[in-house]
């Protein structure tokens, strides 16, 4: 457990590192999550809405309306497909040109993939009841 002195030091240090301060730095920071679009849920993207709904209908128990769990599971499954497609494109791109940061990019995808797997599995367990 951290001591009072250590907590105070952490708070002082946190005040020093408040993120980008210039307008250019703030604008650059805002675009970080948009580099590949994987931070946006599939059902929020018009091109994927129909796919999410079709899969949610298939996941819903027979005779029941589409539930929240089915929508979440379908959304997460479409997210996983998007992540795999993006990973394949990164690998293909690295074959064409020497990409020194391929490992970093693939490592970043792991976070999105783990989150999507967890969301899908939790929703599927809720559907099974």
pTM score above 0.85: no
Distance in angstroms (rounded) separating the CA atoms of residues 57 and 60? 5
Q: What is the pLDDT of residue 98?
A: 64
Per-residue tens of pLDDT for the chain, all 129 residues: 789 999 999 888 888 877 787 888 888 777 766 677 788 888 888 999 999 999 999 998 877 788 899 999 999 999 999 999 999 988 888 887 766 688 888 888 898 999 999 999 999 999 987
Query: What are the sequence ranges of the domains in the chain?
Result: 36-128
Q: What is the 3-state secondary structure (H, E, C) of the chain?
A: CCCHHHHHHHHHHHHHCCCCCCHHHHHHHHCHHHCCCCCCCHHHCHHHHHHHHHHHHHHCCCCCCCCHHHHHHHHHHHHHHHHHHHHHHHHHHHHHCCCCCHHHHHHHHHHHHHHHHHHHHHHHHHHHC
Q: What is the pLDDT of residue 99?
A: 61
Task: With beta carbons less than 8 A apart as the criterion, state whether 127 and 61 touch.
Answer: yes
Q: 91: helix, coil or strand?
A: helix
């Amino acid at each position: 457990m951290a001591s009072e002195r250590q907590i105070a030091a952490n708070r002082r240090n946190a005040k020093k590192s408040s993120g980008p301060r210039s307008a250019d730095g703030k604008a650059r920071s805002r675009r970080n999550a948009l580099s590949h679009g994987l931070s946006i849920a599939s059902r929020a993207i018009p091109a994927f809405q129909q796919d999410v709904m079709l899969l949610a209908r298939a996941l819903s128990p027979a005779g029941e309306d589409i539930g929240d769990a089915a929508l979440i599971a379908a959304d997460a499954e479409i997210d996983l497909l998007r992540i795999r497609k993006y990973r394949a494109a990164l690998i293909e791109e690295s074959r064409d040109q020497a990409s020194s940061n391929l490992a970093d990019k693939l490592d970043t995808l792991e976070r999105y993939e783990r989150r999507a797997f967890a969301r899908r599995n939790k929703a599927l367990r809720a559907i099974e009841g």
